[in-house]
Amino acid sequence: MNYPNGKRSTKQSHAPKGKIKPDFSNRGMSLEEDINVTNQYYLEAGIAVVHKKPTPVQIVNVDYPKRSAAVIKEAYFKQASTTDFNGVYRGKYIDFEAKETKNKTSFPLSNVHQHQIDHMKAIEKHGGISFLILCFSPLEEVYLLPSSGLFLYWDDQWNGGRKSIPYAFVEKEGIQIPFHFQARVDYATALDKLYF
């Protein structure tokens, strides 16, 4: 391929022939950024309207070295945030949290907070759809796990149960989300399989 500088690329691919597993490690994006790109694609394609929720912050101190360059020096969270994303898909309200773990065998429940569980339970109670999008980074796998699976392990931990959700459970009860170019984390397809 010729690049704008007029020089031909000298880099050659030495990939083995046959089935190749995509390498996600060099994408340079986090799960949350990939979901933002997916949401933008969904919006432009008329598939869904989903946005990242802003974290409520109280700004206390701002430095104005010059008019065009304000610098926030001190700020505090106003309140605990609920979940990461919300919106509408196929006429249903959806609300979800996105989490990454470096653990290969389980997802630690310490990555979720009680106020998030309460919020997700309220969504379900009122007929909305809540779920987790979990990325097992070492395995390069992303899953959509319905909140019912999260609630099962969350509630059980207070009765002496596990403090994590086993990978095997996520693999069985969730839907794996393969990486795509435009819809990088195509959770709408997973929602179709589970709810529609």
Residue-level pLDDT at 29: 55
82 known member of a binding site = yes
Banded pLDDT at 19 (limits 50, 70, 90) = very low
Residue with tokens 């046959």: 18
Strands 129-136 vs 92-101: parallel, antiparallel or unpaired: parallel
83 is in an annotated binding site: no
User: Does residue 156 have a known ligand-binding role?
Assistant: no
Residue with the larger pLDDT of the pair 190 and 75: 190
Map out the domains of the chain as residue ranges: 38-52+81-195
Q: What pLDDT does residue 22 have?
A: 43
Domain with residues 38-52+81-195, CATH architecture: 3-Layer(aba) Sandwich (3.40)
pTM as predicted: 0.77
For the residues 1-16, what does the mean pLDDT come to?
A: 44
- Taken in order 85, 94, 109, 125, the sign of the CA dihedral is positive
How confident is the model at residue 66, as a pLDDT?
Answer: 77
Question: How far is residue 61's CA from residue 76's CA, in Å, rounded to a whole number?
Answer: 10
Determine whether the annotation assigns residue 116 to a binding site.
Answer: yes
